A and B are shown apart, each in its own frame.
Chain A
Amino acid sequence: MSDVVIHTEEHPHHPFLQHHFEDMQQQHEASTLGMWAFLTTEVLFFGGIFLGYTVYRLAYPDAWAAGAHFQNLTYGTLNTIVLLASSLTMALAVHAAQTGKRMKTFWLLAATLVLGSVFLGVKAVEYSLHFEEGLFPGSHFHYHGPLAPQIQLFMTFYFGMTGLHALHMVIGAGLLIWMMVRAWKGHFGEEYYSPVEIMGLYWHFVDLVWIFLFPLLYLIDRHK
């Protein structure tokens, strides 16, 4: 990063250059840095709940192992594959926007949206199964075997962590729709693609969170 930004040459004003920026480069750098700063906040946000998970996993290893057995490995694996695929389409969409391919950008964003929705759909199925099994914490919790309170704690973390993740997915889906509209209108090109790029950063981050959630909630201690 340069300490001094000097802009002297006059050039035609890009329609999406906001008035308080000197040029497109400054605007692009600002929005990218802004998203990275936001993701730093997100790391700490998820970090707090991961810490809680870790503390109780150490305190109640048996309950945590039992809790993992309540998770459906097929759905979990399916969702992991779906989400990784959506990250690929997202990355391709950023590339398409960068190279000014309007329809390609649009369809790749649409593919990302579809994959994201599949993920949320599968998650909804899993949630409803847990409801039926009486594993939703609180007054709906009907598991009465040994370690019931600790398993309820596991399920609380399960719903808390995957719920926050799903909320991020829903917000991401909304942003994707907005990006699709803008892509359709042909807003993006070589000079201006930062919205798609920072959308991509966000999406990859949400994907990354799942890459931690899946082993921690589904796989770990499954052998026990």
Chain B
Amino acid sequence: MTTAVIDSPILDLPKRRNYINAEYGFFSWLLTKDHKRIGILYMLAVTLLFLIGGFFAMMMRIELLTPEGDLLTSDTYNKFFTLHGIVMIFFFLIPAVPAVLGNFILPLMLGAKDLAFPRINLLSWYIYMIGAVLGLIIIITGGVDTGWTFYTPFSTQYSNTHVFTTTFAAFITGFSSILTGLNFIVTVHRMRAPGLTWFRLPLFVWALYATSIVMLLATPVLAVTLFLLMIERVLHVGIFDPNLGGDPLLYQHLFWFYSHPAVYIMILPAMGVASEVVAAFTRKKIFGYKFVAFSSLAIALLGFLVWAHHMFVAGISIYSAMIFSFLSYFVAVPSAIKVFNWTATLYKGSVSWQTPMLYILGFIGLFTIGGVTGLFLASLGLDVHVTDTYFVVAHFHYVMVGGVVMAYLAGIHYWWPKITGRMYPEWWARLAALLVFVGFNLTFLPQFVLGYLGMPRRYHAYAPEFQILNVMSSAGASVLAVGYALPLIYLVWSLWYGRPAGVNPWGAVGLEWTTASPPPQENFHETPVVTWDAYDYPSMLKAMGDTQNV
């Protein structure tokens, strides 16, 4: 490595103009309307909030090393798990894949110059940042202790922490997600390149489209629920307070009407990344393309019909519990379809064991475990015992961390050459992928056992017989933390020292791999015309000839 490149990462390498060197200066970023730059802005913000959320997680795991609550006071512990949940869900998991990777890649995949509404795209980032800054202010000025679910009447009448500000921050951030969803839907409908028909779309686009539908239909319900909660908190009226005539279960219904579909907002784009990566690293069309595409829509729609499975012991009637349990099994079918089809794609493929693929193979495994443990929770008689225990915590983290975060990391590594024009160091990246996979399982597998043994969630101190498993979990968490810290270091390193990537380092198909890395400001010098199906590797690779592996 020569010293000449040290002070100007990426910029000097491709001498052509690209979206990074097209304009200079602070405001050229803060006032940008370029979807690629907005994606980068999101990436920076989301990473920062992930670190904050991760800090709370680590503190909790350290506290749980011993059965007594000796490191943190119970109030502090309660605030930490609340903030961990709020930061990770509203500020990391929901925007991570769609707002970072989707923002950057969706127009490229469609052969479009930008999203349909670039100004609204920037607005959505600012709205997100207002919510995030409010969140940081809350953290600094004393936090909030309601749990991320804000259950009433605790949140409205009993908690004396910053409940109003926090719900307001979540309320605000919701609009960012609505605007992103709206932008994506219109973009997919109206901005596709000539010849790019619906069934030629990459599956990531299908996944983002399904996600956007959920964002558009579910998020406003959260907004109005939090609005009612804020009214109750400020005016001391009884919308959800039983002493004043309200019904606390109405809050739970409204909350889960959003928050169950919200898990699909998080997992659907992750599934889209999985499809892209599996196709690229087997050089094959995804097995059962249409089944995978429609399963995304099926998940998005069925996801709206299962919310009360969070309330089997909360006080709904025995018959509505049966209906919601029944419907919950329907939503498991499309998820199973995806897992089987990804697996079948490997058959007779050309499987490359590069980092993005390692993450996605891990993703399939962990998502499978997360998915099948969902069957336990959807089963009424069993849910009575395991709900509100660590079993739920483990299930949720298998889907959200084992699923979404693994896929996010896969996507970051897969598109990193496109985003920055540089390759990440493969050896270190594989090591990190391995550490994340091992650390994750060490952390969360014991929690399934803990949960079945009866340890309730959100416990600051616990019965002594649960200690061994908690220590195992905390030990695993430290491995996981190292696994997450590594990419942060080597990805930044690669900005300066990474090998130049070239147009298509993976030999992948898809419009994003036909333009320069990093792409020019207008994405494509000429609007591409699409004449092939998605993942048509055999004919694409022949057509591309020696442009692969530049």
Contacts and interface: CB of A to CB of B under 8 A. Distances in A.
B is bound to A: yes
Interface of A: 1, 3-6, 18-20, 22, 26, 29-30, 33-34, 37-38, 40-42, 44-49, 51-52, 55-56, 59-60, 137-139, 141, 149-150, 152-153, 156, 160, 164
Given A4-B195, A160-B231, A29 B250 contact: no
Interface stretch (B108-116, B292-300, B488-496): B108-116
A49 B181 CA distance: 22
Nearest to A26: B190
Nearest to A155: B237
Contacts of B533: none
B220 A44 contact: yes
Contacts of B178: 41
Contacts of B113: 19-20
B141 to A, nearest CB: 25
A34 B116 contact: yes
20 contacts: A5-B192, A6-B194, A20-B112, A20-B113, A20-B118, A26-B190, A29-B190, A30-B186, A34-B117, A37-B216, A40-B216, A41-B178, A41-B216, A41-B219, A44-B220, A48-B254, A52-B250, A59-B245, A139-B235, A153-B239
B182 A37 contact: yes
B185 interface: yes
Contact of A60 (B112, B189, B192, B245): B245
A138 B238 contact: no
Contacts of A160: 227-228, 231
B228 A30 contact: no
Given A5-B192, A33-B186, A138-B236, A45 B231 contact: no
Contacts of A47: 220-221, 224
Interface in B189-230: 189-192, 194-198, 216-221, 223-225, 227-228
A79 B237 CA distance: 28
Contact of A49 (B114, B195, B224): B224
B239 to A, nearest CB: 6
Contacts of A52: 228, 239, 250, 254
B228 A49 contact: yes
Contacts of A60: 245
A134 to B, nearest CB: 14
B244 A152 contact: yes
Contacts of B239: 52, 153, 156
B190 A30 contact: yes
A3 B197 contact: yes
Contacts of B236: 138-139
Interface of B: 112-118, 120, 178, 181-183, 185-186, 189-192, 194-198, 216-221, 223-225, 227-228, 231, 234-239, 244-247, 250, 254, 257, 522, 527, 529
Given A4-B194, A45-B220, 6 more contacts: A30-B116, A44-B217, A52-B228, A56-B246, A59-B247, A138-B234
Contacts of B186: 30, 33-34, 37
Nearest to B240: A52
A3 to B, nearest CB: 5
B183 to A, nearest CB: 8
B224 A46 contact: yes
A34 B190 CA distance: 10
Given A5-B194, A52-B228, A160-B227, A152 B117 contact: no
A29 B228 CA distance: 35
A152 B238 contact: yes
Contact of B235 (A33, A46, A48, A156): A156
Which of B190, B227, B247 has the most chain A CB within a 10 Å cutoff? B190
A149 B217 contact: no
B182 A38 contact: yes
A33 B189 contact: yes
A42 B178 CA distance: 10
A9 B244 CA distance: 68
A132 B247 CA distance: 29
List 4 A-B pairs, minimum CB-CB distance, nearest first: A138-B235, A48-B224, A45-B220, A20-B113
Which of A41, A42, A59 has the most chain B CB within a 10 Å cutoff? A41
Contacts of A38: 182
A153 B238 contact: yes
Contacts of B182: 34, 37-38, 41
B217 A41 contact: yes
A5 B194 CA distance: 5
B259 to A, nearest CB: 13
A77 to B, nearest CB: 27
Nearest to B222: A48
Contacts of A141: 237
Contacts of B192: 3-5
A138 B231 CA distance: 9
A48 to B, nearest CB: 4
A44 B174 CA distance: 13
Nearest to B246: A153
A66 to B, nearest CB: 13
A19 B522 CA distance: 9
A149 B245 contact: yes
A42 B223 CA distance: 10
B385 to A, nearest CB: 30
Contacts of B247: 55-56, 59
A45 B190 contact: no
A156 B522 CA distance: 51
A48 B220 contact: yes
Contact of B527 (A22, A49, A55): A22
A153 to B, nearest CB: 5
Contacts of B218: 44
Contacts of A18: 118
Contacts of A44: 216-218, 220-221
A6 to B, nearest CB: 4
Contact of B190 (A33, A42, A55): A33
Nearest to B115: A20
Contacts of A4: 192, 194-197
B245 A153 contact: yes
B228 A137 contact: no
Contacts of A19: 113, 522
Contacts of B194: 4-6
Contact of B198 (A3, A30, A33, A55): A3
Contacts of A1: 189
Contacts of A55: 247, 250
A53 B112 CA distance: 44
Nearest to B112: A20
Which of B194, B224, B239 has the most chain A CB within a 10 Å cutoff? B224
A153 B220 contact: no
B197 to A, nearest CB: 5
A150 B247 CA distance: 12
